[in-house]
């Protein structure tokens, strides 16, 4: 099973930049997109359907904002949009798909870069999300939770940890939350495969950051510890340039 997670920063823009063509060159089973920034009726999905993908959407109520889309070549047994908490569900941040005895969650965590109000919202989301997951895994213990977490966990995950120590996305309380997350029954698939490798998943559009590889690793594939021995490989795909992020790729034997 090959699962790709990709913040496309607008599915329509990514499609114009050749997203379907890039997917056609690969053989991914499931593609989880974040920040779709569209409603289904605004997007021509025929090129993706032609590749064998069915697609499931959770869009934000606000047009052109947030949203997640899961495209899969394997029909899920169950699809659930949202987590049942209105202030997050109205922003289209989570979609769940169940396949047999395991569950995939495609998530777009809030950003706090626009100021204190959204930073507070982000921290509320992190606490509520963790509590929700703890309840969900009583019913569905085998979980893979992918997406844009908007947090760089360790200094190795950010090009300039010293100057960014007060930046949203690398704040101590955010990093502490993510460390607790990975100590509470989940494994960072990329770090499991490559404990010391420096790879990033997002680069600012400013100052030629991507060309100079001055990035952040803020996109993750969290695998519940009961599935860790199934992980075969995980890495980033910087060859995909449809967004300011790159895809995160996971191969797992399910």
Q: 86 phi and psi, to 5 degrees?
A: -60, -40
Catalytic residue chosen out of the listed positions 29, 89, 98, 148: 148
Q: Which two tokens stand for residue 155?
A: 């200094």
Beta strands across the sheet bearing 142-148: 78-81, 94-99, 102-108, 142-148, 219-224, 186-188
Give yes or no: 148 in active site: yes
Cα separation of the two ends of the chain = 6
Q: Which two tokens stand for residue 79?
A: 């699809």
Q: Report the Cα 84 to chain-centroid distance in Å.
A: 19
Helix axes 172-182, 116-139, angle to 10 degrees: 10
Q: How many CA atoms lie within 13 A of 14 on its CB side?
A: 28
Catalytic site positions: 148
């Amino acid at each position: 099973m090959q699962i790709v997670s990709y913040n496309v920063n607008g599915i329509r823009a990514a499609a114009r930049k050749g997203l379907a063509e890039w997917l056609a060159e690969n053989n991914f089973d499931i593609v989880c997109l974040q920040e779709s920034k569209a409603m289904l009726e605004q997007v021509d999905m025929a090129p993706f359907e032609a590749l064998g993908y069915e697609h499931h959407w959770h869009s934000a109520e606000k047009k052109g904002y947030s949203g997640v889309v899961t495209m899969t070549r394997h029909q899920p047994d169950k699809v659930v949009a949202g987590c049942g908490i209105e202030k997050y569900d109205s922003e289209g941040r989570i979609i769940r798909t169940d396949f047999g005895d395991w569950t995939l969650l495609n998530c777009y965590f809030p950003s706090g870069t626009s100021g204190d109000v959204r930073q507070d919202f982000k921290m509320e989301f992190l606490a509520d999300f963790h509590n929700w997951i703890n309840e969900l895994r009583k019913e569905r213990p085998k979980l893979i939770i992918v997406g844009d977490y908007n947090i760089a966990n360790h200094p190795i995950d950010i090009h300039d940890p010293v100057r960014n120590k007060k930046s949203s996305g690398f704040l101590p309380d955010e990093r502490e939350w993510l460390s607790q997350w990975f100590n509470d029954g989940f494994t960072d698939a990329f770090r499991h495969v490559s404990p010391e490798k420096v790879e990033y998943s997002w680069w600012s559009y400013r100052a030629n950051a991507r060309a100079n590889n001055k990035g952040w690793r803020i996109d993750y594939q969290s695998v519940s510890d009961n599935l860790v021995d199934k992980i075969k490989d995980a890495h980033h795909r910087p060859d995909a340039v449809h967004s300011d992020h790159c895809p995160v790729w996971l191969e797992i034997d399910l």
